[in-house]
Amino acid sequence: MNSLLLELGRALPAGRFLSDPDVLSSYAHDEAERAPFAVPGAVVRPRSTTEVATVVAFCAEHGIPVIGRGAGTGLSGGANAVPGCVVVSFEAMNAIVRIDPEERLAVVQPGVVNEELRQAAARHGLWYPPDPASAPWSTIGGNVSTNAGGVCCVKYGVTRDYVLGLEAVMGRGDVVRLGRRTAKGVAGYDLTGLMVGSEGTLGLVTEVTLRLRGARAAERTVVGAFDGLAAAGRAVAEVTASGVVPSALELVDRHCLRAVDDWKHMGLTESGDVLLLARCDAPGPAGDEEAERVLSCFEKGGATWSARSTDEAEADALFAARRLAYPALERLGAVLTEDVCVPRMLVPEMLGRIEDVAAAHDVTIATLAHAGDGNLHPMTVVPPGDDDARARGHAALERVVDEALSLGGTVTGEHGVGLLKKRGLEAELGHEVLALHRAVKRALDPAGIFNPGKVFT
Protein backbone atom coordinates (compact mmCIF):
# COMPACT_ATOMS: atom_id res chain seq x y z
CA MET A 1 0.00 0.00 0.00
CA ASN A 2 1.41 3.34 -1.09
CA SER A 3 2.28 5.52 1.91
CA LEU A 4 0.38 8.42 0.33
CA LEU A 5 -2.79 6.37 0.26
CA LEU A 6 -2.32 5.40 3.89
CA GLU A 7 -2.07 9.11 4.64
CA LEU A 8 -5.41 9.63 2.89
CA GLY A 9 -6.91 6.88 5.03
CA ARG A 10 -5.83 8.67 8.19
CA ALA A 11 -7.57 11.85 6.98
CA LEU A 12 -10.95 10.09 6.82
CA PRO A 13 -13.29 8.83 9.54
CA ALA A 14 -12.95 5.20 10.57
CA GLY A 15 -14.50 2.63 8.24
CA ARG A 16 -14.32 4.75 5.11
CA PHE A 17 -10.92 3.62 3.79
CA LEU A 18 -10.51 0.06 2.49
CA SER A 19 -7.15 -1.55 1.72
CA ASP A 20 -7.66 -5.31 2.03
CA PRO A 21 -6.47 -6.83 -1.30
CA ASP A 22 -9.44 -9.19 -1.59
CA VAL A 23 -11.87 -6.32 -1.02
CA LEU A 24 -10.05 -4.10 -3.50
CA SER A 25 -10.37 -6.76 -6.19
CA SER A 26 -14.15 -6.66 -5.91
CA TYR A 27 -14.10 -2.98 -6.91
CA ALA A 28 -11.79 -3.41 -9.91
CA HIS A 29 -14.30 -3.45 -12.76
CA ASP A 30 -17.89 -3.19 -13.92
CA GLU A 31 -19.80 -5.76 -16.02
CA ALA A 32 -18.04 -5.06 -19.33
CA GLU A 33 -16.50 -8.34 -20.49
CA ARG A 34 -14.09 -6.80 -23.00
CA ALA A 35 -12.65 -3.91 -20.98
CA PRO A 36 -9.23 -3.97 -19.24
CA PHE A 37 -8.93 -3.16 -15.54
CA ALA A 38 -6.49 -3.09 -12.63
CA VAL A 39 -6.83 -3.59 -8.88
CA PRO A 40 -7.25 -0.14 -7.28
CA GLY A 41 -4.76 1.19 -4.79
CA ALA A 42 -7.55 1.88 -2.31
CA VAL A 43 -11.31 2.17 -2.03
CA VAL A 44 -13.12 4.91 -0.13
CA ARG A 45 -16.79 4.63 0.85
CA PRO A 46 -17.73 8.19 1.87
CA ARG A 47 -20.87 9.14 3.75
CA SER A 48 -20.91 12.86 2.98
CA THR A 49 -19.98 15.44 0.38
CA THR A 50 -17.34 16.76 2.78
CA GLU A 51 -15.61 13.39 2.81
CA VAL A 52 -15.70 13.21 -0.98
CA ALA A 53 -14.14 16.68 -1.13
CA THR A 54 -11.37 15.54 1.23
CA VAL A 55 -10.55 12.64 -1.09
CA VAL A 56 -10.58 14.75 -4.25
CA ALA A 57 -8.45 17.54 -2.75
CA PHE A 58 -5.88 15.02 -1.52
CA CYS A 59 -5.75 13.16 -4.82
CA ALA A 60 -5.52 16.37 -6.85
CA GLU A 61 -2.59 17.55 -4.73
CA HIS A 62 -0.73 14.29 -5.18
CA GLY A 63 -1.78 13.35 -8.74
CA ILE A 64 -3.68 10.21 -7.74
CA PRO A 65 -6.41 9.02 -10.16
CA VAL A 66 -9.97 9.03 -8.82
CA ILE A 67 -12.64 6.66 -10.17
CA GLY A 68 -16.26 7.17 -9.14
CA ARG A 69 -18.34 4.03 -8.79
CA GLY A 70 -22.03 3.28 -8.35
CA ALA A 71 -23.28 -0.30 -8.31
CA GLY A 72 -20.79 -1.53 -10.92
CA THR A 73 -23.52 -2.57 -13.38
CA GLY A 74 -22.05 -0.61 -16.31
CA LEU A 75 -21.29 -2.33 -19.61
CA SER A 76 -18.54 -0.17 -21.10
CA GLY A 77 -15.72 -0.30 -18.54
CA GLY A 78 -16.42 3.25 -17.40
CA ALA A 79 -15.96 2.37 -13.71
CA ASN A 80 -12.89 0.16 -14.20
CA ALA A 81 -9.93 0.86 -11.94
CA VAL A 82 -6.52 1.95 -13.16
CA PRO A 83 -3.22 1.21 -11.38
CA GLY A 84 -2.76 3.14 -8.14
CA CYS A 85 -6.16 4.79 -8.25
CA VAL A 86 -8.64 5.52 -5.50
CA VAL A 87 -12.11 4.16 -6.22
CA VAL A 88 -14.79 6.28 -4.58
CA SER A 89 -17.79 4.01 -4.05
CA PHE A 90 -21.06 5.80 -3.31
CA GLU A 91 -22.84 2.76 -1.87
CA ALA A 92 -23.13 4.38 1.59
CA MET A 93 -24.48 7.69 0.22
CA ASN A 94 -27.89 6.18 -0.50
CA ALA A 95 -30.42 8.53 1.08
CA ILE A 96 -33.53 9.89 -0.59
CA VAL A 97 -33.15 13.33 0.92
CA ARG A 98 -36.68 14.43 0.11
CA ILE A 99 -39.54 14.08 -2.32
CA ASP A 100 -41.53 17.24 -2.97
CA PRO A 101 -44.99 16.32 -4.31
CA GLU A 102 -45.98 19.95 -4.93
CA GLU A 103 -42.91 20.79 -7.02
CA ARG A 104 -42.73 17.23 -8.38
CA LEU A 105 -39.07 16.71 -7.67
CA ALA A 106 -36.80 14.43 -5.67
CA VAL A 107 -33.45 15.17 -4.06
CA VAL A 108 -31.30 12.05 -3.74
CA GLN A 109 -27.77 10.95 -3.03
CA PRO A 110 -25.94 9.10 -5.83
CA GLY A 111 -26.09 5.67 -4.17
CA VAL A 112 -29.90 5.48 -4.29
CA VAL A 113 -31.02 2.50 -6.38
CA ASN A 114 -33.17 3.47 -9.36
CA GLU A 115 -36.05 1.13 -8.48
CA GLU A 116 -36.10 2.32 -4.85
CA LEU A 117 -36.56 5.90 -6.03
CA ARG A 118 -39.34 4.82 -8.40
CA GLN A 119 -41.14 3.06 -5.55
CA ALA A 120 -40.70 6.01 -3.20
CA ALA A 121 -42.06 8.40 -5.85
CA ALA A 122 -45.04 6.10 -6.45
CA ARG A 123 -46.02 6.39 -2.79
CA HIS A 124 -46.58 10.10 -3.48
CA GLY A 125 -48.52 9.44 -6.69
CA LEU A 126 -45.46 10.39 -8.77
CA TRP A 127 -43.26 8.65 -11.32
CA TYR A 128 -39.55 8.70 -12.20
CA PRO A 129 -39.46 7.48 -15.84
CA PRO A 130 -35.84 6.47 -16.67
CA ASP A 131 -35.86 2.69 -16.31
CA PRO A 132 -32.70 0.91 -17.51
CA ALA A 133 -32.83 -2.88 -17.48
CA SER A 134 -30.55 -2.70 -14.44
CA ALA A 135 -33.06 -0.53 -12.53
CA PRO A 136 -33.38 -3.03 -9.64
CA TRP A 137 -29.62 -2.72 -8.99
CA SER A 138 -28.15 0.33 -10.73
CA THR A 139 -27.87 3.61 -8.86
CA ILE A 140 -28.93 7.14 -9.73
CA GLY A 141 -25.29 8.26 -9.65
CA GLY A 142 -24.36 5.65 -12.24
CA ASN A 143 -27.45 6.50 -14.30
CA VAL A 144 -26.42 10.17 -14.26
CA SER A 145 -22.85 9.25 -15.18
CA THR A 146 -23.89 7.42 -18.35
CA ASN A 147 -27.13 9.31 -19.07
CA ALA A 148 -29.00 6.01 -18.84
CA GLY A 149 -32.20 5.37 -20.75
CA GLY A 150 -34.45 2.33 -20.64
CA VAL A 151 -37.64 0.84 -21.99
CA CYS A 152 -39.85 3.94 -21.81
CA CYS A 153 -37.30 6.50 -23.04
CA VAL A 154 -38.78 6.28 -26.55
CA LYS A 155 -41.57 8.53 -25.24
CA TYR A 156 -40.30 9.97 -21.98
CA GLY A 157 -36.63 10.63 -22.55
CA VAL A 158 -33.41 9.69 -20.78
CA THR A 159 -31.80 10.61 -17.48
CA ARG A 160 -30.60 14.04 -18.66
CA ASP A 161 -34.21 15.06 -19.28
CA TYR A 162 -34.96 14.63 -15.55
CA VAL A 163 -31.87 16.12 -13.89
CA LEU A 164 -32.72 19.64 -12.78
CA GLY A 165 -29.60 20.23 -10.73
CA LEU A 166 -26.82 18.55 -8.85
CA GLU A 167 -24.09 18.98 -6.29
CA ALA A 168 -20.60 17.92 -7.35
CA VAL A 169 -17.03 17.89 -6.14
CA MET A 170 -14.81 19.37 -8.84
CA GLY A 171 -11.14 19.53 -9.79
CA ARG A 172 -9.36 20.63 -6.61
CA GLY A 173 -11.97 19.48 -4.12
CA ASP A 174 -14.31 22.43 -4.61
CA VAL A 175 -17.99 21.74 -3.94
CA VAL A 176 -20.40 23.36 -6.40
CA ARG A 177 -24.13 23.37 -7.00
CA LEU A 178 -25.26 23.38 -10.61
CA GLY A 179 -28.66 23.78 -12.18
CA ARG A 180 -31.86 24.73 -10.42
CA ARG A 181 -34.97 23.50 -8.64
CA THR A 182 -37.43 25.62 -10.59
CA ALA A 183 -39.59 24.39 -13.47
CA LYS A 184 -37.80 26.79 -15.85
CA GLY A 185 -34.38 28.39 -15.89
CA VAL A 186 -31.90 29.50 -18.57
CA ALA A 187 -29.22 31.27 -16.53
CA GLY A 188 -25.70 30.55 -17.74
CA TYR A 189 -24.30 27.55 -19.57
CA ASP A 190 -25.98 24.20 -19.04
CA LEU A 191 -23.26 22.80 -16.80
CA THR A 192 -25.73 20.35 -15.29
CA GLY A 193 -26.36 18.83 -18.70
CA LEU A 194 -22.61 18.74 -19.29
CA MET A 195 -22.07 16.67 -16.14
CA VAL A 196 -24.80 14.20 -17.05
CA GLY A 197 -23.24 11.58 -19.29
CA SER A 198 -19.66 12.70 -18.54
CA GLU A 199 -18.88 9.28 -17.01
CA GLY A 200 -17.03 10.66 -14.02
CA THR A 201 -14.40 12.44 -16.12
CA LEU A 202 -15.28 15.97 -14.94
CA GLY A 203 -16.07 15.54 -11.24
CA LEU A 204 -17.94 13.45 -8.69
CA VAL A 205 -21.69 13.97 -8.27
CA THR A 206 -22.78 13.84 -4.61
CA GLU A 207 -26.45 14.88 -4.82
CA VAL A 208 -29.01 15.02 -7.62
CA THR A 209 -32.27 16.97 -7.97
CA LEU A 210 -34.63 15.09 -10.27
CA ARG A 211 -37.82 16.05 -12.03
CA LEU A 212 -40.76 13.72 -11.37
CA ARG A 213 -43.94 13.20 -13.36
CA GLY A 214 -47.47 12.46 -12.27
CA ALA A 215 -48.56 8.84 -12.09
CA ARG A 216 -48.84 7.41 -15.58
CA ALA A 217 -52.07 6.22 -17.16
CA ALA A 218 -52.82 2.53 -17.57
CA GLU A 219 -50.81 0.90 -20.34
CA ARG A 220 -52.13 -1.20 -23.20
CA THR A 221 -49.79 -3.95 -24.39
CA VAL A 222 -49.53 -5.12 -28.00
CA VAL A 223 -47.47 -8.17 -28.96
CA GLY A 224 -46.36 -9.26 -32.41
CA ALA A 225 -44.45 -12.36 -33.54
CA PHE A 226 -42.34 -12.34 -36.71
CA ASP A 227 -40.44 -14.96 -38.68
CA GLY A 228 -37.24 -12.90 -38.80
CA LEU A 229 -35.50 -9.65 -37.96
CA ALA A 230 -36.26 -8.11 -41.36
CA ALA A 231 -40.02 -8.39 -40.88
CA ALA A 232 -39.83 -7.11 -37.31
CA GLY A 233 -37.75 -4.18 -38.52
CA ARG A 234 -40.37 -3.34 -41.14
CA ALA A 235 -43.02 -3.31 -38.41
CA VAL A 236 -40.89 -0.91 -36.35
CA ALA A 237 -40.62 1.38 -39.38
CA GLU A 238 -44.40 1.19 -39.83
CA VAL A 239 -44.95 2.31 -36.23
CA THR A 240 -42.50 5.18 -36.66
CA ALA A 241 -44.13 6.32 -39.89
CA SER A 242 -47.61 6.15 -38.34
CA GLY A 243 -46.81 8.97 -35.92
CA VAL A 244 -47.74 6.90 -32.87
CA VAL A 245 -45.25 7.32 -30.01
CA PRO A 246 -45.62 4.21 -27.84
CA SER A 247 -44.42 4.25 -24.26
CA ALA A 248 -42.34 1.18 -25.12
CA LEU A 249 -41.41 -0.66 -28.31
CA GLU A 250 -39.02 -3.51 -27.61
CA LEU A 251 -37.53 -6.17 -29.87
CA VAL A 252 -36.36 -9.59 -28.61
CA ASP A 253 -34.80 -11.96 -31.14
CA ARG A 254 -34.88 -15.76 -31.25
CA HIS A 255 -31.52 -16.22 -29.52
CA CYS A 256 -32.66 -14.18 -26.53
CA LEU A 257 -36.05 -15.92 -26.49
CA ARG A 258 -34.40 -19.34 -26.53
CA ALA A 259 -32.03 -18.41 -23.70
CA VAL A 260 -34.92 -17.20 -21.52
CA ASP A 261 -36.96 -20.30 -22.35
CA ASP A 262 -34.10 -22.64 -21.47
CA TRP A 263 -33.89 -20.91 -18.10
CA LYS A 264 -37.48 -20.04 -17.19
CA HIS A 265 -39.54 -22.34 -19.45
CA MET A 266 -41.91 -19.59 -20.55
CA GLY A 267 -42.71 -20.98 -23.99
CA LEU A 268 -41.58 -17.83 -25.75
CA THR A 269 -39.99 -19.59 -28.71
CA GLU A 270 -43.33 -21.16 -29.57
CA SER A 271 -44.56 -17.71 -30.62
CA GLY A 272 -42.03 -16.95 -33.35
CA ASP A 273 -38.44 -16.07 -34.14
CA VAL A 274 -38.73 -12.42 -33.07
CA LEU A 275 -41.12 -10.68 -30.70
CA LEU A 276 -42.07 -7.02 -30.69
CA LEU A 277 -43.52 -5.76 -27.43
CA ALA A 278 -45.30 -2.41 -27.48
CA ARG A 279 -47.09 -0.40 -24.86
CA CYS A 280 -49.32 2.65 -25.24
CA ASP A 281 -50.27 4.85 -22.28
CA ALA A 282 -52.25 7.77 -23.68
CA PRO A 283 -55.15 8.35 -21.27
CA GLY A 284 -58.68 7.22 -22.01
CA PRO A 285 -59.89 6.26 -25.48
CA ALA A 286 -56.75 7.74 -27.07
CA GLY A 287 -54.71 4.91 -25.55
CA ASP A 288 -57.03 2.33 -27.08
CA GLU A 289 -56.76 4.02 -30.44
CA GLU A 290 -52.95 4.07 -30.25
CA ALA A 291 -52.85 0.37 -29.39
CA GLU A 292 -55.05 -0.46 -32.37
CA ARG A 293 -52.80 1.56 -34.68
CA VAL A 294 -49.70 -0.25 -33.40
CA LEU A 295 -51.47 -3.57 -33.91
CA SER A 296 -52.21 -2.55 -37.50
CA CYS A 297 -48.55 -1.60 -38.01
CA PHE A 298 -47.43 -5.02 -36.80
CA GLU A 299 -49.79 -6.67 -39.26
CA LYS A 300 -48.57 -4.47 -42.13
CA GLY A 301 -44.98 -5.31 -41.20
CA GLY A 302 -45.65 -9.00 -41.68
CA ALA A 303 -46.42 -10.38 -38.22
CA THR A 304 -47.20 -14.10 -38.23
CA TRP A 305 -49.56 -13.26 -35.39
CA SER A 306 -50.26 -10.19 -33.30
CA ALA A 307 -52.66 -9.34 -30.55
CA ARG A 308 -53.51 -6.79 -27.92
CA SER A 309 -53.06 -8.37 -24.52
CA THR A 310 -56.06 -8.30 -22.22
CA ASP A 311 -54.23 -10.04 -19.37
CA GLU A 312 -52.14 -7.56 -17.37
CA ALA A 313 -50.16 -10.34 -15.66
CA GLU A 314 -49.33 -11.91 -19.01
CA ALA A 315 -48.25 -8.54 -20.43
CA ASP A 316 -46.02 -7.88 -17.42
CA ALA A 317 -44.49 -11.35 -17.80
CA LEU A 318 -43.54 -10.62 -21.41
CA PHE A 319 -41.72 -7.43 -20.45
CA ALA A 320 -40.11 -9.26 -17.54
CA ALA A 321 -38.84 -11.82 -20.04
CA ARG A 322 -37.26 -9.01 -22.05
CA ARG A 323 -35.38 -7.89 -18.94
CA LEU A 324 -34.30 -11.48 -18.28
CA ALA A 325 -32.63 -11.86 -21.68
CA TYR A 326 -29.21 -10.57 -20.65
CA PRO A 327 -28.88 -12.67 -17.46
CA ALA A 328 -30.23 -15.66 -19.42
CA LEU A 329 -27.44 -15.27 -21.96
CA GLU A 330 -24.90 -14.92 -19.14
CA ARG A 331 -25.76 -18.44 -18.04
CA LEU A 332 -24.27 -19.65 -21.34
CA GLY A 333 -20.93 -17.87 -21.11
CA ALA A 334 -19.35 -14.44 -21.14
CA VAL A 335 -21.61 -11.93 -22.92
CA LEU A 336 -19.93 -9.41 -25.17
CA THR A 337 -22.43 -6.62 -25.67
CA GLU A 338 -22.79 -3.56 -27.86
CA ASP A 339 -25.01 -0.49 -27.72
CA VAL A 340 -25.55 1.42 -30.94
CA CYS A 341 -28.33 3.72 -32.09
CA VAL A 342 -29.43 4.45 -35.65
CA PRO A 343 -32.18 6.63 -37.15
CA ARG A 344 -35.49 4.91 -36.44
CA MET A 345 -36.45 4.37 -40.06
CA LEU A 346 -33.13 2.58 -40.61
CA VAL A 347 -33.72 -0.06 -37.93
CA PRO A 348 -34.61 -2.69 -40.59
CA GLU A 349 -31.38 -1.97 -42.47
CA MET A 350 -29.29 -2.14 -39.29
CA LEU A 351 -30.86 -5.43 -38.22
CA GLY A 352 -30.00 -6.90 -41.61
CA ARG A 353 -26.43 -5.69 -41.33
CA ILE A 354 -26.07 -7.27 -37.90
CA GLU A 355 -27.07 -10.62 -39.38
CA ASP A 356 -24.52 -10.15 -42.17
CA VAL A 357 -21.79 -9.33 -39.67
CA ALA A 358 -22.60 -12.43 -37.63
CA ALA A 359 -22.30 -14.64 -40.71
CA ALA A 360 -19.06 -13.00 -41.84
CA HIS A 361 -17.40 -13.57 -38.45
CA ASP A 362 -18.92 -17.00 -37.79
CA VAL A 363 -20.57 -15.94 -34.55
CA THR A 364 -24.10 -15.92 -33.21
CA ILE A 365 -25.32 -12.41 -32.42
CA ALA A 366 -28.36 -12.12 -30.16
CA THR A 367 -30.19 -8.81 -30.41
CA LEU A 368 -32.32 -6.85 -27.98
CA ALA A 369 -33.49 -3.43 -29.00
CA HIS A 370 -35.31 -0.38 -27.75
CA ALA A 371 -36.62 -0.46 -31.29
CA GLY A 372 -38.84 2.60 -30.97
CA ASP A 373 -35.85 4.92 -30.74
CA GLY A 374 -33.39 2.92 -32.85
CA ASN A 375 -31.25 1.75 -29.92
CA LEU A 376 -29.97 -1.78 -30.51
CA HIS A 377 -28.06 -4.11 -28.19
CA PRO A 378 -26.36 -6.85 -30.23
CA MET A 379 -24.63 -9.46 -28.04
CA THR A 380 -22.54 -12.54 -28.58
CA VAL A 381 -21.85 -15.28 -26.02
CA VAL A 382 -18.33 -16.64 -25.57
CA PRO A 383 -18.10 -20.19 -24.22
CA PRO A 384 -15.73 -20.51 -21.25
CA GLY A 385 -12.10 -20.73 -22.34
CA ASP A 386 -12.76 -20.19 -26.07
CA ASP A 387 -10.27 -17.45 -26.92
CA ASP A 388 -10.90 -17.76 -30.65
CA ALA A 389 -14.62 -17.19 -30.18
CA ARG A 390 -13.85 -14.17 -28.00
CA ALA A 391 -11.62 -12.65 -30.69
CA ARG A 392 -14.22 -13.25 -33.41
CA GLY A 393 -16.95 -11.84 -31.21
CA HIS A 394 -14.94 -8.74 -30.43
CA ALA A 395 -14.20 -8.17 -34.13
CA ALA A 396 -17.85 -8.67 -35.03
CA LEU A 397 -19.09 -6.11 -32.52
CA GLU A 398 -16.48 -3.58 -33.64
CA ARG A 399 -17.84 -4.07 -37.16
CA VAL A 400 -21.37 -3.49 -35.84
CA VAL A 401 -20.23 -0.11 -34.52
CA ASP A 402 -18.83 0.80 -37.94
CA GLU A 403 -22.06 -0.24 -39.65
CA ALA A 404 -24.11 1.92 -37.27
CA LEU A 405 -21.89 4.94 -37.96
CA SER A 406 -22.19 4.39 -41.71
CA LEU A 407 -25.97 4.73 -41.32
CA GLY A 408 -25.65 8.05 -39.52
CA GLY A 409 -25.93 6.45 -36.09
CA THR A 410 -24.02 6.77 -32.84
CA VAL A 411 -21.70 4.44 -30.96
CA THR A 412 -23.74 4.44 -27.77
CA GLY A 413 -27.36 5.10 -26.97
CA GLU A 414 -27.19 4.59 -23.21
CA HIS A 415 -24.26 2.47 -21.99
CA GLY A 416 -21.65 5.21 -22.29
CA VAL A 417 -18.25 5.25 -23.98
CA GLY A 418 -16.05 4.07 -21.12
CA LEU A 419 -13.15 2.06 -22.49
CA LEU A 420 -14.93 0.02 -25.14
CA LYS A 421 -16.20 2.84 -27.38
CA LYS A 422 -13.17 5.11 -27.60
CA ARG A 423 -12.31 4.11 -31.16
CA GLY A 424 -15.91 4.50 -32.24
CA LEU A 425 -16.25 7.87 -30.52
CA GLU A 426 -13.23 9.23 -32.38
CA ALA A 427 -14.72 8.05 -35.67
CA GLU A 428 -18.08 9.58 -34.81
CA LEU A 429 -16.95 12.97 -33.52
CA GLY A 430 -13.78 13.71 -35.47
CA HIS A 431 -10.61 15.42 -34.28
CA GLU A 432 -11.99 18.96 -34.06
CA VAL A 433 -14.92 18.04 -31.82
CA LEU A 434 -12.75 15.74 -29.69
CA ALA A 435 -10.43 18.71 -29.16
CA LEU A 436 -13.38 20.66 -27.75
CA HIS A 437 -14.14 17.80 -25.37
CA ARG A 438 -10.54 17.66 -24.22
CA ALA A 439 -10.51 21.42 -23.65
CA VAL A 440 -13.55 21.12 -21.39
CA LYS A 441 -11.87 18.26 -19.55
CA ARG A 442 -8.72 20.31 -18.92
CA ALA A 443 -10.75 23.28 -17.70
CA LEU A 444 -12.84 21.33 -15.20
CA ASP A 445 -10.22 18.76 -14.20
CA PRO A 446 -6.93 20.70 -14.18
CA ALA A 447 -5.09 17.98 -12.24
CA GLY A 448 -6.28 15.31 -14.69
CA ILE A 449 -7.36 12.92 -11.92
CA PHE A 450 -10.98 12.10 -12.78
CA ASN A 451 -11.40 8.70 -14.49
CA PRO A 452 -8.27 9.01 -16.64
CA GLY A 453 -8.09 6.98 -19.83
CA LYS A 454 -11.85 6.78 -20.26
CA VAL A 455 -14.09 8.18 -23.02
CA PHE A 456 -11.57 10.22 -25.02
CA THR A 457 -8.51 10.71 -22.78
Question: Percent of the chain scored above 70 by pLDDT?
Answer: 100
**DSSP-derived pairing of the beta strands 366-370 and 175-179:** unpaired
E-state strands within 238-374: 248-252, 274-280, 305-308, 334-337, 340-341, 366-370
The Cα–Cα gap between 381 and 390 comes to 8
* pLDDT tens sequence across 310-321: 888 888 888 888
Residue-level pLDDT at 312: 84
* pLDDT tens sequence across 32-82: 988 999 999 999 999 999 999 999 999 999 999 999 999 999 999 999 999
Mean pLDDT to the nearest integer, 412-434: 96
Residue-level pLDDT at 318: 87
* pLDDT tens sequence across 241-294: 999 999 999 999 999 999 999 999 998 888 889 999 999 999 999 999 999 999
Residue 175 has pLDDT above 60, yes or no: yes
**Cβ atoms of 376 and 354 closer than 8 Å:** yes
Question: Percent of the chain scored above 90 by pLDDT?
Answer: 91
CA neighbor of 190 nearest in space, from 157, 148, 161: 161
Residue 1 has pLDDT above 60, yes or no: no
- Cα-Cα-Cα-Cα dihedral sign, residues 60, 19, 452, 4: positive
Residue 170 has pLDDT above 90, yes or no: yes
Residue-level pLDDT at 310: 82
pTM: 0.94
Domains along the chain with CATH numbers: 3-89 (3.30.43.10), 96-214 (3.30.465.10), 217-324 (3.30.70.2190)
The Cα–Cα gap between 288 and 275 comes to 21
**Cβ atoms of 121 and 311 closer than 8 Å:** no
DSSP string, 208-219: EEEE-EEPPPPP
**Which pLDDT band holds residue 432 (cuts at 50, 70, 90)?**
very high
* pLDDT tens sequence across 362-381: 999 999 999 999 999 999 99
Residue-level pLDDT at 372: 94
